[in-house]
Amino acid sequence: MLIDPFKRKISYVRVSVTDRCDFRCTYCMSEDMEFLPKKDVLSLEELDRLCNTFIDLGVKKLRITGGEPLVRKNIMQLFSNLGKKLGQGLEELTLTTNGSQLDRYAKDLFENGVRRINVSLDSLEKNKFKKITRIGDLDKVINGIMVAKKAGLKIKINAVALKGINDNEILNLVNWCGENKFSLTFIEVMPMGEIGEKRADQYMPLTEVKSLIQTKYSLTEDSLRTGGPARYVHCHETDQKIGFITPHTHNFCELCNRVRITCTGEMYMCLGQQDKADLKTPLRKSENDQLLKHVIYEAISRKPKGHDFVIERKENEQFVPRHMNVTGG
């Protein structure tokens, strides 16, 4: 069992399987991103072994992320292997995706034990979607979401609130998700990586989003917890859960139960901190997992109490150096 210095049990690991993505979302990465050489990325076999080690250490939930995880070659093999661990220590296997590959993989995901997925979708307007993603195809994403729904997957839409960009779509997103029986979570933009734009110009606090929703809908606090940082309300008119991930307006660190693994085997103990542990070296140095477990235990002992994101309107804007696609959020 993994317990951090603040007595928080680490039961949730987010595992990035690639830094590559078929979108270039403006809040996530720059338009001319340079991706890692494939030789630097953990193999699927190494990722499988790493995940199994965390399951042995008491982790109950694995979220596969990227980049866009479904662009990783032969990724279904990893889902197939990990799916066999469900009911044998692992309680949930899920992923976060941009939806571009769901029409191809939704059925396979369900067959391998995935039951819930998060889909990043910030706009329902074609031109705006293209502007946000730079190269995304909204019709393909919507079709993939509907294919996933038909395959039996429960859908949660993740939407980053972007001032002056999609703030006029908040109510439309609530209505659309309600009509389709999707959960919905709004996220505050996070200061991670150089993106070529001012995040202070994008930032919209979710207190404003919630107030906007309440102009049309009745909301009550909900006790639902899914193992992540979102706090939920129940929307009575649409009978849906709406979540809010608020790294700025309400630091959610007090209940943090998670760590993040990059596709190169680096473990970040906190989203907003740069302290990390190298898991690739012990993974490759010994076929015995004891050395790897020792490194994991030592790293968890350094997990900080929390992060402190600050978005300010100034010339030299402060941000965490790594991009969102490194740890998948």
Per-residue pLDDT of the chain (329 residues; tens, 9 = 90+): 999 999 999 999 999 999 999 988 888 877 778 888 988 999 999 999 999 999 999 999 999 999 999 999 999 999 999 999 999 999 999 999 999 999 999 999 999 999 999 999 999 999 999 999 999 999 999 999 999 999 999 999 999 999 999 999 999 999 999 999 999 999 988 764 454 555 567 789 999 999 999 999 999 999 877 767 888 999 999 999 999 998 765 555 777 899 999 999 999 998 777 789 999 999 999 999 999 999 999 999 999 887 555 555 444 444 455 455 565 65
pTM: 0.89
The fold adopted by the segment(s) 12-327 is: TIM Barrel (3.20.20)
| Dihedral angle sign, alpha carbons of residues 5, 245, 142, 201 | negative
Where would I find the H helices in 95-169? 102-111, 126-133, 138-151
User: DSSP character for 316?
Assistant: S
Short-list 303, 158, 155, CA closest to 229: 158
pLDDT in the model for residue 23: 87
User: DSSP character for 66?
Assistant: S
Q: Is 313 helix (H, G, I), strand (E, B) or coil?
A: coil
Short-list 6, 3, 11, CA closest to 225: 11
pLDDT in the model for residue 252: 59
The answer to whether the CB of 93 falls within 8 A of the CB of 118 is: no
The answer to whether the CB of 299 falls within 8 A of the CB of 278 is: no
277-280 own/partner pairs: CB under 8 Å, 24+ apart:
277/302, 279/50, 280/42, 280/46
The answer to whether the CB of 133 falls within 8 A of the CB of 106 is: no
Short-list 305, 277, 274, 304, CA closest to 293: 277
Residue type, 212: L
Structure-token match 């009550």, residue found = 220
pLDDT in the model for residue 16: 97
Residue 285's H or E segment, with its range, is helix 280-285
Query: Where does residue 72 rank: exposed (0-12), middle (13-18), buried (19+ CB within 10 A)?
Result: buried
pLDDT in the model for residue 202: 76
The answer to whether the CB of 253 falls within 8 A of the CB of 312 is: no
Query: Where does residue 203 rank: exposed (0-12), middle (13-18), buried (19+ CB within 10 A)?
Result: buried
